[in-house]
Amino acid sequence: MKSISYRRDKVLKKLWWKEEVVYQIYPKSFYDSNKDGIGDIQGIIEKLDYLKKLGVTSLWICPIFKSPMIDNGYDISDYIDVQDEFGTMKDLDTLIEKCKSLEIKIILDLVVNHTSHEHHWFKEALKNPEGPCGDFYIFKNGKNGKVPNNWRSIFGGSVWEPVPNRENLYYFHTFHKGQPDLNWENPNLRREIYKMINWWLEKGIGGFRIDSITFVKKDQDYLDSEIDGKDGLSSVKHKGRNRPGIEKFLYELNRETFEKYRCVTVGEAPGVPYEQYNQYIGKNGYFNMIFDFKYADIDVENGSEWFRRTNWTTKELKEKIFKSQEVFQKIGWGANFLENHDQPRSLTKYIRDKKYRNHIGAKALGCLFFFLRGTPFIYQGQELGMENFTRENINEFDDVSSIDNYNRSILEGYSEKEALNFVNLRSRDNGRTPMQWDNSSFSGFTKGDKVWLGLTNSLNINVVNQIEDINSVFTFYKKMIELRQNSNYSEDLIYGDFEQIHSDGDLIAYKRGENIVCLVNLGDSTQNIKLKVGEILLNNYKTLKIKENNIILEPYQGILITKGE
Ligand code: GLC
Ligand code: CA
């Protein structure tokens, strides 16, 4: 960063993690180094030069721990070992080492709401209910020959699963039955978790993205809640997410682990209303940042029921983004993103006119999100403008929640065709297709003869076609990163105030600091705004039309400019 003085220096704390650009890797789909069709740690090592060239400064790596892979690693059977197909602990050490020398920090995924049913704690708890792990999970007796209550798990069906060989006893799972929830009410269990976290921090990683953390506290009465679906169940979200008492767990978690190491923490904290952001990311908050899903889920009423679609407008999107920015700015710092491994590709979601689902649309979206106040997170393939994949049959999906959403859509009365359409639009597999590197078979993701999940239809969207092309999405992202990290505008782009600019129609406009303006037309007709242009820092079109101090933005045109005199 070049200029150092900034008028808010005294009030605004400068912290290293505010100055990062994070790249999220889904290891299974990033790069396969040993021809088995599955991405691996060695594959990440081989692509570090690529990441360095792009300019990102941190990597968030989705779980690489030992796992039966029912939920692709979010079902951990050993926290301090590496899953075979991803490599070994030695590979991970090498990755950490290499990243250190390249000044890239590593953020690991921390999944502590649940483990796999194959974790030795769970096996031990079943084998020896009176033993030390007997109370590490949540066991309850059934009621009147049925499960203990009517809560629905996130991946469908009851949250309760019968304990084998034990009459009328059930264990609790917020997600899949292969992901039993840990009993955070038990202080011994919490201590074990903190020990594990500190073990990783001692290794020198930069920090954690903390998975599904708002689910750790459940209402202890475990009473039925109101039925909200045709399956006769009630979402676990009502009484099993962000419930009173969670503050005790999260303060303690922070105090016993993260705080001691001053590592970075990014919470995946669904279900937290803005009024509670202060507890999460305020001055004494549990985490440094959290993701706000309110505009990522604009196309559905909630992120886990894809058949409840909305008819959203750009105006609503604009309002949601601005509201989110306002809250983050008032309270703390945000983790901004367009995509992740649970979301469909942003091009397909946000660009409704198919004509612009190309480099123009991808750059417009990039420009819109990247310069918001907060730390930007880029999901693998987003920097190329990768799109959703349309599958013809439900059997072609791998993701557990896709199968569940298909079945629930049908139960809710939709046809098979409609159900498939919902899943195609929202499936988590959309973001999990193998990364596209070049024009060879399987887009260079593997040199073997198979892949774990089918690729997208647009194989020409790949690294080799974009990396040297000055008009590519990749080059646009590279320029955005360069501007934020290492230019005369860095100070304003990182620490400058966010301010919305009033604009009509599909135009989204905001200011960073005193002088920088981002304008994105998220619609298919031209839009005008009265504004003097100084320097054009970025433009996804070759030209910019200006008429008597009016900027005229073409459909899906996105620009970053300085204000003129
Ligand atoms: C988080 C993860 C998701 C996973 C779930 C259960 O939402 O992002 O991929 O399935 O938690 O761990
Ligand atoms: Ca492999």
Distant-in-sequence, close-in-space partners of 146: CB < 8 Å, separation ≥ 6: none
Distant-in-sequence, close-in-space partners of 280: CB < 8 Å, separation ≥ 6: 250, 267, 269, 272, 286, 287, 290
Does 82 lie in the same domain as 160? no
- Residue 2 — pLDDT band, cuts 50, 70, 90? very low
Residue nearest to ligand 1 atom 4, measured at CA:
74
Summarised one tens digit per residue, pLDDT across range 169-180 is 999 999 999 999
Judged against a pLDDT cut of 90, whether residue 565 lies above it is answered with no
Whether 539 is covered by a domain: the verdict is no
Could you confirm whether 91 is annotated as catalytic? no
Q: Measured in angstroms, how far is the CA atom of residue 213 from the centroid of ligand 2? A: 30
Does 371 lie in the same domain as 322? yes
Structural domain range at position 317:
16-115+189-393+430-476
Does 333 lie in the same domain as 306? yes
CB of 342 within 6 A of ligand 1: the answer is yes
Ligand nearest to the CA of 210: 1
Last residue of a domain, one of 172, 207, 241: 172
Whether 141 is covered by a domain: the verdict is yes
Last residue of a domain, one of 476, 498, 533: 476
Does 75 lie in the same domain as 159? no
75, 211, 299, 342: the catalytic one is: 211
Residue nearest to ligand 1 atom 2, measured at CA:
211
Does 108 lie in the same domain as 131? no
Report pLDDT for 12. 64
Could you confirm whether 387 is annotated as catalytic? no
Report pLDDT for 13. 85
Whether 413 is covered by a domain: the verdict is no
Residue 159's domain is classified under what CATH number?
Answer: 3.90.400.10
Distant-in-sequence, close-in-space partners of 421: CB < 8 Å, separation ≥ 6: none
Predicted model pTM? 0.97
Whether 62 is covered by a domain: the verdict is yes
CB of 337 within 6 A of ligand 1: the answer is no
Summarised one tens digit per residue, pLDDT across range 244-300 is 999 999 999 999 999 999 999 999 999 999 999 999 999 999 999 999 999 999 999
Q: Measured in angstroms, how far is the CA atom of residue 73 from the centroid of ligand 1? A: 9
As for how many domains the chain has, the answer is: 2
Does 371 lie in the same domain as 228? yes
Residue 295's domain is classified under what CATH number?
Answer: 3.20.20.80
Whether 555 is covered by a domain: the verdict is no
Summarised one tens digit per residue, pLDDT across range 486-530 is 999 999 999 999 999 999 999 999 999 999 999 999 999 999 999
Whether 222 is covered by a domain: the verdict is yes
Q: Measured in angstroms, how far is the CA atom of residue 308 from the centroid of ligand 1? A: 20
Does 67 lie in the same domain as 32? yes
Does 350 lie in the same domain as 313? yes
Q: How far is CA 218 from CA 141, 149, 184, 239, 337, in A?
A: 17, 13, 9, 6, 28
Whether 409 is covered by a domain: the verdict is no
Tokens of 483: 């501007």
Does 293 lie in the same domain as 375? yes
Ligand 1 pocket: which of 26, 28, 64, 71 to mutate (most atoms within 8 A of CB): 71
CB of 111 within 6 A of ligand 1: the answer is yes
Does 265 lie in the same domain as 157? no
C-alpha 38/C-alpha 283 separation (Å) is 42
C-alpha 306/C-alpha 300 separation (Å) is 6
109, 161, 192, 268: the catalytic one is: 268
Q: Measured in angstroms, how far is the CA atom of residue 547 from the centroid of ligand 1? A: 49
Does 95 lie in the same domain as 56? yes
Ligand 1 pocket: which of 69, 177, 208, 212 to mutate (most atoms within 8 A of CB): 212
Does 38 lie in the same domain as 68? yes
CB of 181 within 6 A of ligand 1: the answer is no
Start-to-end CA distance of the chain, whole Å, equals 25
Whether 415 is covered by a domain: the verdict is no
Give the start-end residues of each E strand in 3-132: 22-25, 58-61, 65-66, 78-82, 105-110
